Structure 1
């Protein structure tokens, strides 16, 4: 709910008031950090509540695969379902096609009578709700407690994931698990006592993000092929 509300504030500023999207996003990020730190002070050090893993009899007992796929927390399965639902919505429904057309040319969509601002409001709020769900996963599953700035900037990797995936939902899912594997891998490397500075291991996910962006940016055709033409451009109907 808080993620949706923050995204609503972002939508009001960028869609209704036509403010700069990058500056607005950065300022709201800093606001969220400060606000969460102030509200969450009393929760620091307190034991949290962990969402239980779903244990499916017999199937969860299958070696390796059973525990890996059928013994996860509910948010894991929600993420899979959301990815499938978004794919179906964007590429199999009339409303999804309309939303994609707005991303490619909001001026043309407006000329056809499409309510551009309304669609973008709904899309931004949905994205904010999903971001809130991801943040909740950190304190309910990944680390069942709350500490200030516990996301440690991991949310910014989502931006790299979208570029990596060329705006295709299933590629976002695959890329997320690749980055997740790098993140968990560096934790295991520290636990095994590999003689590498822990600071370097902790930076590996971000180094991997930079490397992926550099490699993708070399292929201009791939980058531009699926990128919405109106990405980041403000839309004011009376202009």
Structure 2
């Protein structure tokens, strides 16, 4: 009997392999502290991260680059929010930029620069990643990363954790069903294929539309626009990355 085609697993990077959100959370809380110091505003009751992210997501929903908007806009939005302006209105004010601000342009730029620098911290691996990758490689599973982040940054982070060698390739692109179809053809993934990711709208739904079996590994942060129930449900939901190996290896054994 001929051997079955190898199983191929595409894996998202940020917040799937490693906890990028934890780095962003620390950076955003640091920015809020910087803005408070500049304004002389005392700490308030409540969750500081939730306060920042209400403004952050309001800006992202209004900006053409989404969550990749310039961080100085968050400085301006937080200044308005700390003055009692609602998040959506604070975001609109930051986007228009025609308001009087107490924080000078130079100080706002300095806060944004410190925020960007704090994002250079290497994120920690998520639970079960190393064990799951090792188990799949031992079993002959093809592993590839597919990410919207730059390939260079993904490779650098994977190298810092000593896991880059597990992967056949690192692929970069804006995720869509068409991209997944191109990646299947490019990598000659003729056997059973999986996609593992933390975002329903960026990882699971387009991969499912392209015919991949999907494994949803929820991350710590879900943008509110991604939480709306979509037409597609993941084939599997996991709480630990090592469970990917169990699913994939069982599939490979069944095909033998």
Q: If each structure's strand is expressed as a fraction of its own residues, which one has the higher value?
A: 2
Q: If each structure's helix is expressed as a fraction of its own residues, which one has the higher value?
A: 1
What TM-score does the superposition give when structure 1 sets the normalisation length? 0.28
